[in-house]
Amino acid sequence: MRIAVDAMGGDYAPQEIVAGALLARAQLGVEIVLVGDAQAVARELRKLNAAQLVEIIDAPEQVRMDEEPTAVRRKRKSSIVITMDLVKQGKADAAVAAGNTGAAMAAALLQIGRLGGIDRPAIGALLPTLKLGKRVLLLDAGANTDCRARFLEQFALMGALYSRYALGVERPQVGLLNIGEERGKGNETVAEAYELIHKNPNIPFAGNCEGRDVMTGQFDVVVCDGFVGNILLKFAEGVGLVALQILKEELPRGFTGKIGTAVMQDNLRQVKQRMDYAAYGGGLLLGINGVCIIAHGSSKAEGILSAIRLAKEAVDNRVLERILQQSGSN
Amino acid sequence: MRIAVDAMGGDYAPQEIVAGALLARAQLGVEIVLVGDAQAVARELRKLNAAQLVEIIDAPEQVRMDEEPTAVRRKRKSSIVITMDLVKQGKADAAVAAGNTGAAMAAALLQIGRLGGIDRPAIGALLPTLKLGKRVLLLDAGANTDCRARFLEQFALMGALYSRYALGVERPQVGLLNIGEERGKGNETVAEAYELIHKNPNIPFAGNCEGRDVMTGQFDVVVCDGFVGNILLKFAEGVGLVALQILKEELPRGFTGKIGTAVMQDNLRQVKQRMDYAAYGGGLLLGINGVCIIAHGSSKAEGILSAIRLAKEAVDNRVLERILQQSGSN
């Protein structure tokens, strides 16, 4: 298996991306193609004594974290566009990049295009839950602001198949994000989507999911339109910051507070890391005619390794073929 | 000024409601009418040596926390319906209740009705922000699942006036909840609402507010439809629980963790209280032809006092008349 990796995306490119790609090569046995500034990438490889181990494809341009998705149309020689193109041309089995998820989606649509049977590709985001180590796949996290009920049904199907065959959840529970548990709740589109998802035999539907249930761990997949999903995802980041701020203000208060804070620095660091919901970012591009995994912009080598592992699982377990089959059967 | 208080709502009725009402009577100089099970309420008043201080109006029925809003149609003799009726009949200047916000809105609509110029009343919810002591008014928090752009404009106007004249914010900053900062972002309705709000000279519009900015404290009012608002509000509760769970798992880990946790019990209690976002609940019923403030279901006497203070400010500063004037001028 060959994975194309955009070496230039995210906060720690190219150093950590290259390191992560090499980890994946060693641990997962995949072939890696690194796409980016050839000189910079070669330099990183030499530092790690790995100059001959992976192929480099030069990309003279980059799409920055803060650029609009439309930037990919002007920057046809950017690393993200060329990475997607390798998948399109069959020269790679999957694409992995870090950073600008919107731009990655735009590049994937431009070069690879939609999967048959899927009207609108969606961004899947992984959020932490109350259950340690368990994550929930929220989609659409921002690709489609206006959605029809049928799109939501397709999101539910894609989410279920990715959860099962890429994330390894044996029996994924799919929830529809809504304002009440009962059937018939919600705005017009969501109420209609409930009926479509309920009737679809390929979707393991567990009913409506209220806002407070998104992170309990009782759902594996939560479906919503990209407007709500994007707001929720960014709101989670904001709430995480508020929680950290409360800790900063309250814990060192008073004499015992200062002592307590001093002795438990390690514990607090761990808390901080887990509460920084922003760090859980990144996403899966679902409904593209190729496997595309986007790691969070702040990913270091381990984050890139995880993203490549996810891509490998999706390819190994033929997620795209399963979506094609099951979305066609409606 | 006379405030009608539903003595039977929330987790600590009637005891804490009665205690809070008496606090308000003493501290704010308002007259109180308590509505509820006359015997139970009289008993509480006697315990506090206040039997002669407030009027009691008997209400034989109650709407429980877990009942659907439609329950108020069957329970015409419930305390919440009779409380609203006192406002309708001019026997009270404002209504205060704790608990079931949806039922309170239904009772208010049934008995009091809409304010002129307002198409759809909305529920306003107060959330904590990064700035200690500063809250943000989110509306609509769940009354209207499908909204037109014009409704969102009216929410913005009502939010601004409540923020200024009931919450005492000198120059309220009103934001429109959206998926990007730039004009033109969002779904069709929200993009259209941006233009309406932008053009309205009565709304101090600060532009779009992204999910991550809701709790930074940079906005005083955040406007969205009731579908998104309800999901966001309940999601905040869920995220708060996840944060508390992380603390519970990480802080006592190891020897130093156990020592630190032991010495700083007081600090941790304070953290827990501030992170329990659910406790910030309750709401303002905006767009009703009467001032109606709903305290959170878990409110104790202090929470009821706060709600009555908010009601008094709204009446004193003629918030309803201002909304009437300014919504009519469009």
* pLDDT 10s digits, A277-308: 666 557 899 999 999 999 988 889 999 999 99
Q: How many CB atoms lie within 10 A of CB A85?
A: 21
Question: In the prediction, which pLDDT does A190 show?
Answer: 96
Start and end residues for every CATH 3.40.718.10 domain found in chain A = 1-118+287-330, 120-281
Map residue A284 onto helix, strand or coil: strand
Assign domain B119-284 to its CATH architecture: 3-Layer(aba) Sandwich (3.40)
Question: In the prediction, which pLDDT does A242 show?
Answer: 84
Please list the rounded mean pLDDT of every run of 10 residues in chain A (330 residues): 96 96 97 98 97 96 92 97 98 95 95 96 91 90 94 98 95 96 91 97 97 94 97 88 87 90 89 73 90 92 93 96 82
Q: How many CB pairs under 8 A join A and B?
A: 193
Class in CATH terms, B1-117+287-319: alpha beta
CB nearest to B130's CB, from A211, A241, A270: A241
- Tell me whether B247 touches chain A (CB under 8 Å): yes
Q: Tell which A residues from 71 to 90 touch B, by Cβ distance under 8 Å.
A: none
Question: In the prediction, which pLDDT does A104 show?
Answer: 96
Q: Is residue A110 classed exposed, middle or buried when 0-12, 13-18 and 19+ CB atoms within 10 A define those classes?
A: middle
Question: In the prediction, which pLDDT does A36 show?
Answer: 98
Choose which CATH entry (3.40.50.720, 3.40.50.450, 3.40.718.10, 3.90.1640.10) describes domain A120-281.
Answer: 3.40.718.10
Q: Tell which A residues from 265 to 284 touch B, by Cβ distance under 8 Å.
A: 266-268, 270-271, 274-275, 277
CB atoms A236 and B239 under 8 Å: yes
- Tell me whether A133 touches chain B (CB under 8 Å): no
Question: What is the sign, positive or negative, of the torsion defined by CA atoms of B280, B286, B288, B290?
Answer: positive
Chain A residues closer than 8 Å to B179 by CB: 142, 145, 226-227, 230-231
Tokens of B13: 């009725």
Question: In the prediction, which pLDDT does A128 show?
Answer: 85
A212-244: per-residue pLDDT in tens? 999 999 999 999 999 999 999 999 888 888 888
Q: How far is A40 from chain B (nearest CA, A)?
A: 33
Compute the distance between CA of residue B163 and CA of residue B165 in angstroms, rounded to an integer. Answer: 6
Q: Tell which A residues from 209 to 228 touch B, by Cβ distance under 8 Å.
A: 210-216, 224-228
Q: Tell which B residues from 18 to 77 touch A, by Cβ distance under 8 Å.
A: none
Compute the distance between CA of residue B172 and CA of residue A221 in angstroms, rounded to an integer. Answer: 38
Question: In the prediction, which pLDDT does B281 show?
Answer: 59
CB atoms B215 and A242 under 8 Å: yes
Q: What ipTM does the predicted assembly reach?
A: 0.88
pLDDT in tens, chain B (330 residues): 999 999 999 999 999 999 999 999 999 999 999 999 999 999 999 999 999 999 999 999 999 988 999 999 999 999 999 999 999 999 999 999 998 999 999 999 999 999 999 999 999 999 888 888 889 999 999 999 999 999 999 999 999 999 999 999 999 999 999 999 888 889 999 999 999 999 999 999 999 999 999 999 999 999 999 999 999 999 988 888 888 888 888 999 999 899 989 988 999 988 888 777 666 557 899 999 999 999 988 889 999 999 999 999 999 999 999 999 998 744
Start and end residues for every CATH 3.40.718.10 domain found in chain B = 1-117+287-319, 119-284
Pair A246, B128: CB distance under 8 Å: no
Class in CATH terms, A1-118+287-330: alpha beta
B176: left (phi over 0), alpha (psi -120 to 50) or beta: beta
